[in-house]
Structure 1
Amino acid sequence: MRTVRALSAVLVAGAALFGPAAAPVLADSATPTPSGSASAESTAGPTEAGTTFRTAAFFRQGLQATAEASTGDYLYWVFPADTGQRPTVTASVTLPESTARHGASTWRIDVYDGLRRRQPCMYGMQSKAAAKEAPSVELSCTLRPVRPWADAWDDDPLPGSYYIRLTVTGLPEEDLGQPFTARIGAGSADKGGAYAGGGSLAAPLVPGATTEDATAADAPSAVEARAPEDGWSSGWWSDRWIWTVAGGVLGALAGIGGYTLTRGSGRPSRVPPAV
C-alpha cells in the first residue's frame, strides 16, 4: 500500500505540473499572434512610409501600416521585437490597373535589425513575381527567434528595432512611376525559454540608444520611444525556469517512489504460524 500511495503521488504531481495549465508554455504557432482587438481602429497604423532607414515609419506589432507610393520607390517601416519572439512580416501590394501596365513585375521585402544587418527568412515568400493581369501580390518573411544576446561574430536576431524595406526589383521601364498601395503587418509567435540564453544586452538595438538612455529617468529616450507596448523584457526570466523546477520536483518524487518500492520488495514475507 505504501508503494501504491507513493506512485500515485508521483502521478498526481506530474499531472498538476504538466497538465492543461502548462499547455500554453508548449504552444508553438507558426502564425503571428498580435495582441488587441481585430477592429479596424485598433489595428490602424501609420498611413505613410519612410524613404530611408532614418525616416522609417514606426509601428508596433499587431498594427497594419499603409502607404501610397510610386513604383520604383523604396519604402521603409520599423517595429520593435523582443527576446523570445519569432517575428513574421507580411506585405500586400495593390498593383496599378492591368490596362496601364506593360508587363509582369517582381516585388521584394527585406528585414534588417537595429544594426542594419539583413536578417534571413526562415520561411515565407520574400520575393514574388506578379503577372501583368494580377491585381495584387502577397509577400511574407518569418525571421529566426530573437535571442537575448549573441557573440560578436554572430548575426543572430537581437532585441530592438527591425526595419522593413519594400520595393519592386523588376518591371518594364515604362511602368516606373505608376502608383501602388502597400499594406504592411508584423506579429510574433512566442518561442519562450526554448531560445533563452544566459545573458542580456545592456540596451536593445535601437538606433541612437545607449545604455544611459535605457536607465535614464529624467527624459524620454530613444529606447522608450521604440519599445514594445509593454516595454522590453529584462532578459533573465523565461519559462525555462518553470521546466527546471518542475523537473527537479518530479525527479525527487521519482526517487522517493523508487526507494519505497525497493524497500518494500526487500522485506521478508510473513509466514503464518503452524496450527
Structure 2
Amino acid sequence: MTDHPFMDSLVTLTAVDLERLLITIESSQQVHLRHQYFLWSQGVLQSFLPHEALIVGHGEYGTPAFRYEVLGRTQLAGDRMPGSDFDKLVGLALDSWQHGGHLPKAFAGGSNGSATCPVGQLLKRFSIGHAMAHGTREFNGDSSGFFVFLNMPEAPGRRHVYFAQMLMPYLHTTLHRMLTQEKSAPELPVRFNTRLSGREGQVISLVRDGMTNQQIAEKLELSPLTIKNHIQNILRKLEVSNRAQAVAKAVKARLISDQPGT
C-alpha cells in the first residue's frame, strides 16, 4: 500500500495498481488487429477484470444488425452452451444492462445465482460461473459496444464495477479501431527470422500476461534491472518501440504462444 493511494469513494488503488493501469491504457493504443485485441483482453486487462471468456458485441442493439463473438483462453462457452442458448444469454444480458440504467451489471453464477435472474439461471445451468456486462450508451448503430465478462473467479464487486466503468472507453475504441482496420487492410502473414533467447522468451511471455517489470523479476528471481535490460534487448531485436508492439510481433512471428499462462 502506498502512503498516498489514489482513492474514490469505493476503491483504493496501490502503486502496483496504478502501474498496471498505465500499462493497460498505453498498450490499448497499440491494438489494431484481432490477435492484438485478443492478447490485450486476455493479458493486461485480466489484472482488473479477470475472466476466462469475453463476449464482444457491436451493432444496433436489439436488431439483427447486432453481432457478437467470444474471445477466450478456453472454449468455455462453446463447449458448454448450445448456440441458441448462448444467443439467449447475450440478449438477456444486454436487456438487463439497458434496463439497469446502462451501469455495469453483475450476474452471480453457481450456487450464488439468483433463482429469479434469467442470466444467472443460464450461467448456473451451464456451469459458466460469475459474469458482468457493460457497454456504451453514447454510441448507436455500428459504433456501439457491449461486453460480457464470463467465468470471473469471484462474484463481481465494487472494484470490478469501478474498473469496468474506467476501462470501457478503451475497450470500446480499441474494438472499433480493430474493426476499422480489418475493413481497410486485412492482416497479412509475418515473415520474420529473428530469434529470442530462452530467457527473453520467458520475459516477453510474462509481459504478454500483463506482469510489470517488478513482478517478472520476482517470478524469475532476477533483479528489476536485469528484466529491464532483457526488455530493451527484445525491443531492439523486434524493431519495435514498446512492450505492446513487442508482444504482438512476437506472437505473429510465433516466437511465443498467444495463450496467456503458457
TM normalised by structure 2 equals 0.26
Larger Rg: 1
TM normalised by structure 1 equals 0.25
More strand by share: 1
More helix by share: 2
